[in-house]
Chain A
Amino acid sequence: NAGVTQTPKFQVLKTGQSMTLQCAQDMNHEYMSWYRQDPGMGLRLIHYSVGAGITDQGEVPNGYNVSRSTTEDFPLRLLSAAPSQTSVYFCASTQGWAGGTDTQYFGPGTRLTVL
């Protein structure tokens, strides 16, 4: 199993550009999430999905879109990049929410810089 994979690892954008951060998992997990990590602020939830076709907003959703057409993939789209979106982005997946199945496994992260 590759676990959770993210591409690209690094990206530099200019203000106003759009792009998609890719996330895939091969563990057949239903739940997937996107977090951003900023210095001194820990990780904050952007969007999440509880299954294919179902997405919802997290704590900081503005400026981002998501979709979940398959169980495996959960891309994050930046519609019009802004310098405030400079951050490290982590994708995570988990099997479920009941019992001991809720441990989240994180991808390696994407470091995004918006100039």
Chain B
Amino acid sequence: AQKVTQAQTEISVVEKEDVTLDCVYETRDTTYYLFWYKQPPSGELVFLIRRNSFDEQNEISGRYSWNFQKSTSSFNFTITASQVVDSAVYFCALRIDQTGANNLFFGTGTRLTVIP
């Protein structure tokens, strides 16, 4: 069975602080894909990043960075120098490589509040 755990329900930081959102996943499949989505207060879901299980390289995109570690089944997301606009709910999601299926298992989300 597949499972995604985001143990941090809510996090508050002061603007310009760095913050890391944790994501731990479970799957027996050797081929799988991990995603992060952002849900701002307006409610839409915004795709942030996709990573496959064969690529453990960390990725940086501006103030965002992701650390993928298969040894600990984690795919953590760090925001550097946080800004008020980063306030949102962030979801980590997992897709396993099943032919004919293309569906995501979501974690319960982490609500990030950046205080000005």
Contact = CB atoms under 8 A, between A and B. Distances in A.
Contacts of B84: none
A43 B104 contact: yes
B103 A33 contact: yes
A44 B47 contact: no
B108 A48 contact: no
A104 B47 contact: yes
A102 B35 CA distance: 10
Indicate the size class of the contact surface on chain A: 20 to 34
A61 interface: no
Contacts of A48: 101-103
B106 A43 contact: yes
Given A108-B43, A109-B43, A103 B103 contact: no
A78 interface: no
Given A42-B91, A104-B47, A97 B102 contact: yes
SS class, residues of chain A in contact with chain B: strand
Contacts of A108: 43-44
A44 B33 CA distance: 17
A102 B108 contact: no
Contacts of B4: 42
A90 interface: yes
Given A108-B43, A108-B44, A102 B102 contact: yes
27 contacts: A33-B103, A35-B104, A40-B9, A43-B93, A43-B104, A43-B106, A44-B106, A45-B103, A45-B104, A48-B101, A50-B100, A50-B101, A58-B103, A88-B43, A92-B45, A94-B102, A102-B50, A102-B102, A103-B35, A104-B47, A104-B104, A105-B47, A106-B44, A108-B43, A109-B43, A109-B45, A111-B43
Going nearest first, the 8 A-B pairs with the smallest beta carbon separation are: A42-B106, A106-B45, A97-B102, A43-B106, A42-B108, A31-B102, A45-B103, A108-B44
